[in-house]
Structure 1
Amino acid sequence: MQHIDYNSIAEIYDVYVTADYDIPFFLSEIKPVQGPILELMAGTGRLSLPLIESGAKLTCVDSSSAMLDVLSQKLQQRGLHAEVVCSDVCQLSLPAAFDLAILPFQAFMEIIGEENQRAALAAVFECLVPGGRFICTLHNPAIRRKQVDGLLRLIGQFPTENGTLVVSGFEQGGNPVVSRQQFFEFFDSDGRLLEKRLLQMKFAFVEKHEFEQMAQDVGFRIVQLYGSYDRAPFDPVQSPVMIWVLEKRTI
């Protein structure tokens, strides 16, 4: 269950979220996959579009209907096709038809509470064919927690059709739930403030041993744990992320 109202910022999400650091990794991971691929918490298609353009048979899932509307518009404009499903990953019910499932951008951390996290992992497990794989990325709490200090930070200034969007925010908590307040200020070309928005966000740190135990309890086998998108081994002290590669055990 997610705790973020992405519907309220769906039309501006692509203005300020431009990250592409993980795209080469996932493009490489899908190359050997012949069957259908499931992307969870796909949003507006930051990763979806490059995967589809490379030939992936993709089903895109997100709980925000507005984010998926943006994705659907992009697909239509580019002449691309994907199945688009509006669902919370914790309540997902799809046939066991997927060779690969991915949950990118550390978004699993937006699922709050062990019960919901286990439900999400179980739902993904049921969607995979025997031997199917699940790639799930999380921040390394030891590194990411250092940024949770209550200080207001400028995230960036981004050009818009009418002027500039300024995004800032601060984070508090972290044991394990972080509360993030994200501010959006819209200025016209003359620097006049036109609009303000607030997006209240929550995410939870998940420790390595916690995720590993939940994944194994559901029935996954741990295939690999990377600590970066260049596939460096995970270092609990230095690695910025945990990139889990799991496999659905065959009976």
Structure 2
Amino acid sequence: MATHEQIYQNQSDIYELMISKQPELSEVIRGIRNFQDLAVLDLGAGTGRLSSAVAKDAGSLICTDISAPMLELLDQKLIGQGLERNWSAVVADHRELPLADKSIDLAV
């Protein structure tokens, strides 16, 4: 059986196929907080399930994950949606985020 690290580093395409079957979440997130024009951070963004839900309406979007292959798929997914480039994908450990204090309005 594959470990979490193996899945996130070596099986990002399989992970994406698995989560692509899950429902779209923009309305669920908007029900918690309207993210229109906000600076949004997607922690553990993976292949972009939440990022793709908020990217169109967010003012800016920073997508962080420890797995570069996952973020590569996220980037391809958002580009494939034809969105204006308002996002960045950053390999980062969530214990030490490369962000300025008070630079984010909403974290998902």
CA distance in structure 1 between the partners assigned to 2:47 and 2:81 by the alignment: 14
Contact 1:62 1:88 in 2 (8 A): yes
Contact 1:7 1:64 in 2 (8 A): yes
Post-superposition shift, 1:4?
Answer: 2.4
1:4 is aligned to 4
Post-superposition shift, 1:48?
Answer: 0.8
Q: What SS does the aligned partner of 2:106 have?
A: strand
CA distance in structure 1 between the partners assigned to 2:29 and 2:82 by the alignment: 22
Structure possessing the higher relative contact order (Cα contacts under 8 Å, 6 or more residues apart): 2
Deviation string 1:116-150 (CA, Å, 9 cap, x unpaired) is xxxxxxxxxxxxxxxxxxxxxxxxxxxxxxxxxxx
CA distance in structure 1 between the partners assigned to 2:43 and 2:35 by the alignment: 20
Asked if 1:65 corresponds to 2:71, the answer is: no
> How many residue pairs are counted as aligned between the two chains?
99
Deviation string 1:164-183 (CA, Å, 9 cap, x unpaired) is xxxxxxxxxxxxxxxxxxxx
Contact 1:10 1:67 in 2 (8 A): yes
Change (3 A) 1:34 1:15: closer
Contact 1:33 1:100 in 2 (8 A): no
Return the letter of the residue paired with 1:95.
Answer: A
Return the letter of the residue paired with 2:13.
Answer: E
TM-score, length-normalised on structure 1?
0.36
Q: 1:99 aligns with which of 92, 99, 105?
A: 105
CA distance in structure 2 between the partners assigned to 1:15 and 1:95 by the alignment: 34
2:43 is aligned to 40
Post-superposition shift, 1:100?
Answer: 1.4
Post-superposition shift, 1:58?
Answer: 1.3
CA distance in structure 1 between the partners assigned to 2:51 and 2:45 by the alignment: 7
User: Which runs of 5 or more residues in structure 1 are unaligned?
Assistant: 103-251
Deviation string 1:185-237 (CA, Å, 9 cap, x unpaired) is xxxxxxxxxxxxxxxxxxxxxxxxxxxxxxxxxxxxxxxxxxxxxxxxxxxxx
2:27 is aligned to 24
CA distance in structure 2 between the partners assigned to 1:63 and 1:75 by the alignment: 19
Return the letter of the residue paired with 1:77.
Answer: G
Post-superposition shift, 1:52?
Answer: 1.0
Once superposed, what is the RMSD of the aligned Cα atoms? 2.1
When Rg is computed on C-alpha atoms for both structures, the one with the higher figure is 1
Post-superposition shift, 1:23?
Answer: 4.2
1:213 is aligned to none
CA distance in structure 1 between the partners assigned to 2:17 and 2:39 by the alignment: 30
Identity of aligned residues (%): 32
TM-score, length-normalised on structure 2?
0.78
Between Structure 1 and Structure 2, the one with more strand by share is: 1
CA distance in structure 1 between the partners assigned to 2:17 and 2:35 by the alignment: 32
Deviation string 1:23-78 (CA, Å, 9 cap, x unpaired) is 4321333426543111100110111112112x112111111000000011112222
